[in-house]
């Protein structure tokens, strides 16, 4: 008799607790959602850029999701890259050193990127050729539409590069 009473009370108490937990969970979900990037931020997720605006030998920096993307139009005296070119002689790489995240500088006379932080170096294809960086500069997701490149979307060219492991 006494035991049964206790268990009934406990059952209701547990049910109440469980139901309260559902409520708390929903509130936490709403809180979680408030931290998502705002619509304006999400709108910056893709950036379009006209490749033909870059002169041979010139380098332009495009801001994509707040990060610098280097667009280099190579000249014949620079490193040859085959697979790492997004198109023709264009190198498009994320300008963030793969060592610890500094932004490398282009050295026009040597035709390499040199990282100010720990002296890492990359050639005109973004390949690491000296110093601590463990791998080449990343190629951001891109899609080609003629001479225009859309950063932030994965086009067929990007997917191919990714399969070959050339994007990282």
Q: Mind telling me the catalytic residues? A: 118
What's the Rg (C-alpha) of the chain?
A: 26
For residue 155, count CB atoms less than 10 angstroms from its CB and return exposed for 0-12, middle for 13-18, buried for 19 or more: middle
| Contact between 130 and another protein per CB under 8 A | no
| Contact between 100 and ligand FES per CB under 6 A | yes
| Contact between 28 and another protein per CB under 8 A | no
The correct pick among 57, 131, 152, 155 for binding ligand FES (CB under 6 A) is 131
On whether the CB atoms of residues 71 and 59 are closer than 8 A, the answer is yes
| Contact between 126 and ligand FES per CB under 6 A | no
Spatial separation of the C-alpha atoms in residues 159 and 11, rounded to whole Å? 56
Shortest distance, position 133 Cβ to ligand FES, whole Å: 6
Spatial separation of the C-alpha atoms in residues 146 and 98, rounded to whole Å? 30
Region of 9-17, 115-123, 141-149, 151-159 interacting with ligand FES (CB under 6 A): 115-123
On whether the CB atoms of residues 85 and 71 are closer than 8 A, the answer is no
Shortest distance, position 49 Cβ to ligand FES, whole Å: 25
| Contact between 133 and ligand FES per CB under 6 A | yes
Minimum CB distance to another protein smaller for 18 or for 66: 18
Site string for another protein, 3-22 (x = CB under 8 A): -----xx--xx-xx--xx-x
Spatial separation of the C-alpha atoms in residues 113 and 118, rounded to whole Å? 12
């Amino acid at each position: 008799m006494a035991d049964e009473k206790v268990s009934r009370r406990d059952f209701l108490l547990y049910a109440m607790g469980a139901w309260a937990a559902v409520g708390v969970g929903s509130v936490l979900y709403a809180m979680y959602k408030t931290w998502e990037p705002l619509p304006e931020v999400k709108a910056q997720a893709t950036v379009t850029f006209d490749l033909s605006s870059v002169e041979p030998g010139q380098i332009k920096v495009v801001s994509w999701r707040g990060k610098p993307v280097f667009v280099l139009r190579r000249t014949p005296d620079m490193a040859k890259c085959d697979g790492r070119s997004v198109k023709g002689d264009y190198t498009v790489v994320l300008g963030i050193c793969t060592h610890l995240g500094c932004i490398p500088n282009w050295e026009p006379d040597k035709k390499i990127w040199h990282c100010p932080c720990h002296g890492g170096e990359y050639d005109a294809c973004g390949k690491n050729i000296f110093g601590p960086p463990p791998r080449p500069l990343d190629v951001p997701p891109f899609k080609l539409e003629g001479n225009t490149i859309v950063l932030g979307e994965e086009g067929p060219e990007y997917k191919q590069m990714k399969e070959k492991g050339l994007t990282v």
